[in-house]
Chains A and B, each alone.
Chain A
Amino acid sequence: KAGVTQTPRYLIKTRGQQVTLSCSPISGHRSVSWYQQTPGQGLQFLFEYFSETQRNKGNFPGRFSGRQFSNSRSEMNVSTLELGDSALYLCASSFASGSYNEQFFGPGTRLTVL
């Protein structure tokens, strides 16, 4: 069974631009969560989608948004990029919402904002 895949793996953008990251969950998984990992703040929860609905949201500004499609694939978008948005963005999938012991992470997308 294929794992969680994230594309692209690396991305370089400039301030003010917007970016879209993609996550394909493990087949059969309906929950997708997104996390931001930075040296200063560590791992922080962004949001979770389940069956195309946002179930929960972390403490991030409205510039961070996401969506989930009917095939459970998810995208997250960051608009008006700031230098501080440089981070590793991780997505994780599970069959059910909140099933952390059955949640699998992808390798992440490394975003660099110049």
Chain B
Amino acid sequence: GESVGLHLPTLSVQEGDNSIINCAYSNSASDYFIWYKQESGKGPQFIIDIRSNMDKRQGQRVTVLLNKTVKHLSLQIAATQPGDSAVYFCAENGAQKLVFGQGTRLTINP
């Protein structure tokens, strides 16, 4: 897939457990953040977003936490399923363009 060869941080979790993926962002002026999921052979897919005036936002089985003090973003996936296997990217909106993190590869153990 497209992520083959990427030396990414890897997170391995048991099926059914919760996953927490972390991201540090660089621009303290960024006011909007997004998490993407990229499966092998596909383009990134929007998961959830959060604005800088919020600390937490929940979606279906996913929660994003934002800590502006330390410029840290996390994505929590509840009850991880095999279909969650992918590379996850955070992105920040800086100067009207997206700046992406390097990504984390999530693998699910049966």
Contacts and interface: CB of A to CB of B under 8 A. Distances in A.
Interface of A: 4, 37, 39, 42-45, 48, 55-56, 58, 88, 90, 92, 98, 100-108, 110
A39 B44 CA distance: 15
Given A58-B97, A100-B34, A107 B42 contact: yes
A4 B44 CA distance: 12
Interface of B: 2, 5-7, 32, 34, 41-46, 49, 89, 91, 93, 96-103
A102 B41 CA distance: 21
A39 B46 contact: no
Given A37-B2, A100-B34, A43 B46 contact: no
B100 A43 contact: yes
Contacts of A90: 43-44
A45 B45 contact: no
